[in-house]
């Protein structure tokens, strides 16, 4: 752990916001923040934010405690219950639900409605439960299809916009002696990404989230339709063989060496693709294509990290100002840039790092994610359901004929978990 009291220069190079700004109101007392941004780059960002906000308010002491990210998963409930800080880091969607239901996060709907968080409208839904808002996002990253542009050019392929085009491309790729998709499903979660996109494109974002909330049986015909679309790619040999023996990084060389032409993955994979030898001239990105013409609003996976105000916060005024500060377009631009988190700002008015894939992701999420923002299978589903579910998804990819048994098991788990 580490605490900051009235530090000097910020760890992250920043430009001080002028005293007349919206964040420079007269605040006093102590603002207590607990953050799980414990890796070196995120820690530098968090320490910089705390120091900058401290310096902006001479009568306020910002007390930041940084805890290990994994340890925080078990410590957060006690921290919010025993001696709650004012602000904490956590995650959006179902990952915040237990703390909302336990009355440990503060309802900040009125702050949103008052216009405190201009530019965040597209991600408000990820912080909403029971029609109330419980936190703010500060960073996220896109998922989508990263592909070998040079191989597409060689084969005369264009980025697909429909499922029919996707399947046609895949057949041409297979006929060339390659596989369409690399995937490493040994640790299960990459299969969750495939289900997320296939289900959102087959049935829409609202149905997908209803399934995540346990409101729809896994044996529903609409869920079966999702698996039927998935099986089209499986049966034609679209995925690399034996993917259940690879983790996601171990499968990357098959794309890098051209045995597979694409990877459905988060933007964090780009650095490894580049370090593996792919140039930006060889690599490109597209939004997962439309499947059902009736589902025109495109939902996207964009795991989102968040700040929440504890229900027992002592300095609510300072907590509100800090949330405004950290979600402002200027701060979002700085902390998500290449010298900071290297991810996407959630504020649509922020500037984006001069990186091809960051730019494409920002455009997709701020302009084309019209269906809604999902958090990824293992965040949107309760932990026990996510574990059972991802086991079933991987099993389906290897043994698609077992679908009925898999769905029966998932449905039994749904009835038990919810």
Mean pLDDT of 197-202: 98
Contact 132/110 with Cβ under 8 angstroms?
A: no
Q: How confident is the model at residue 123 (pLDDT cuts 50, 70, 90)?
A: confident
Q: How confident is the model at residue 358 (pLDDT cuts 50, 70, 90)?
A: very high
Quick check: 35 pLDDT over 70?
yes
Mean pLDDT of 338-351: 90
Q: What is the pLDDT of residues 222-231, one digit of tens each?
A: 999 999 999 9
Among 157, 163, 102, 165, which Cα is nearest to 134's? Answer: 102
Q: Does domain 143-301+372-417 have CATH number 3.40.190.10?
A: yes
Mean pLDDT of 258-281: 95
pLDDT, greater one: 323 or 6: 323
Mean pLDDT of 276-296: 97
Quick check: 12 pLDDT over 70?
no
Tokens of residue 15, six digits: 């430009």
Contact 273/252 with Cβ under 8 angstroms?
A: yes
Mean pLDDT of 240-257: 97
Give me the residue spans of the domains in the chain.
3-141+304-350, 143-301+372-417
Between 38-42, 52-56, 141-145, the lowest mean confidence (pLDDT) is in 38-42
Mean pLDDT of 150-178: 98
Strands (DSSP E) contained in 267-415 are 283-286, 299-301, 304-309, 372-374
Tell me which DSSP letter residue 89 carries. Answer: E
What is residue 383's predicted lDDT score, i.e. its pLDDT? 83
Q: What is the DSSP string of 56-82?
A: H-TTEEEEEEE--HHHHHHHHHHHHHH
Between 21-25, 70-74, 334-338, the lowest mean confidence (pLDDT) is in 21-25
Quick check: 14 pLDDT over 70?
no
Q: How far is CA 211 from CA 71, 99, 418, in A?
A: 30, 21, 11
For tokens 């419980």, the residue is 134
Among 299, 234, 239, which Cα is nearest to 263's? Answer: 239
Confirm whether 3-141+304-350 and 143-301+372-417 share one CATH topology: yes
Mean pLDDT of 16-31: 63
Q: What is the pLDDT of residues 49-65, one digit of tens each?
A: 999 999 999 999 999 99
Handedness of CA 353, 306, 37, 61 (dihedral sign): positive
Mean pLDDT of 222-250: 97
Q: How far is CA 117 from CA 138, 333, 405, in A?
A: 11, 15, 46
**What does pLDDT average to over the chain?**
92
What is residue 10's predicted lDDT score, i.e. its pLDDT? 38
Phi, psi for 87 (deg, rounded to 5): -135, 140
What is residue 279's predicted lDDT score, i.e. its pLDDT? 97
Quick check: 118 pLDDT over 60?
yes
What is residue 409's predicted lDDT score, i.e. its pLDDT? 98
What is residue 41's predicted lDDT score, i.e. its pLDDT? 86
Return the CATH number of the domain spanning residue range 3-141+304-350. 3.40.190.10
Quick check: 316 pLDDT over 60?
yes
Mean pLDDT of 181-192: 97
Tokens of residue 312, six digits: 């027992």
Q: How confident is the model at residue 366 (pLDDT cuts 50, 70, 90)?
A: confident
Quick check: 15 pLDDT over 50?
no
Alpha-carbon gap, residue 345 to 334, rounded angstroms: 9
Quick check: 17 pLDDT over 70?
no
């Amino acid at each position: 752990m580490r605490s900051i009291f009235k530090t000097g220069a910020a760890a992250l190079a920043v430009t001080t916001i002028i005293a007349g700004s919206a964040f420079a109101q007269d605040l006093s007392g102590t603002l207590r923040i607990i953050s799980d941004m414990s890796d070196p780059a995120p820690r530098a960002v968090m320490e910089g934010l705390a120091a900058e906000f401290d310096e902006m308010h001479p009568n306020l002491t910002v007390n930041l405690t940084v805890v290990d990210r994994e340890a925080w998963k078990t410590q957060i409930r006690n921290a919010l219950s025993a001696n709650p800080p004012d602000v904490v880091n956590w995650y959006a969607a179902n990952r915040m639900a237990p703390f909302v239901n336990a009355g440990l996060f503060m309802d900040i709907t009125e702050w949103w409605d008052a216009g405190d968080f201009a530019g965040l409208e597209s991600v408000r839904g990820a912080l909403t439960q029971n029609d109330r808002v419980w936190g703010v996002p500060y960073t996220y990253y896109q998922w989508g299809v990263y592909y070998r542009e040079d191989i597409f050019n060689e084969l005369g392929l264009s980025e697909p916009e429909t499922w029919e085009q996707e399947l046609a491309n895949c057949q041409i790729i297979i006929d060339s002696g390659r596989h369409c998709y690399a995937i490493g499903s040994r640790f299960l979660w990459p299969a969750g990404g495939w289900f997320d996109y296939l289900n959102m494109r087959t049935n829409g974002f609202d149905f997908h989230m209803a399934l995540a909330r346990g409101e729809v049986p896994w044996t529903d015909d609409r869920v079966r339709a999702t698996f039927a679309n998935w099986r089209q790619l499986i049966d034609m040999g679209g995925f690399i063989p034996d993917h259940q023996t690879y983790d996601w990084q171990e499968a990357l060389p098959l794309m890098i060496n051209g045995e597979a032409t694409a990877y459905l993955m988060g933007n964090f994979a780009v650095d490894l693709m580049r370090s593996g030898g792919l140039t930006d001239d060889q690599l490109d990105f597209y939004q997962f294509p439309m499947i059902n013409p009736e589902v025109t609003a495109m939902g996207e996976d964009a795991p989102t990290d968040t700040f929440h105000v504890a229900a027992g916060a002592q300095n609510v005024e300072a907590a509100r100002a800090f949330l405004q500060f950290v979600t402002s377009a200027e701060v979002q631009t700085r902390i998500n840039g290449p010298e900071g988190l290297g991810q996407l700002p959630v504020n649509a008015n922020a500037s984006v790092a001069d990186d091809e894939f960051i730019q494409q992701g920002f455009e997709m999420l701020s302009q084309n994610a019209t269906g809604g923002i999902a958090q990824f299978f293992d965040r949107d589903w309760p932990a026990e359901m996510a574990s059972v579910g991802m086991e079933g998804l991987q099993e389906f990819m290897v043994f698609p004929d077992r679908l009925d048994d898999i769905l029966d098991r998932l449905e039994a788990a749904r009835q038990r978990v919810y």
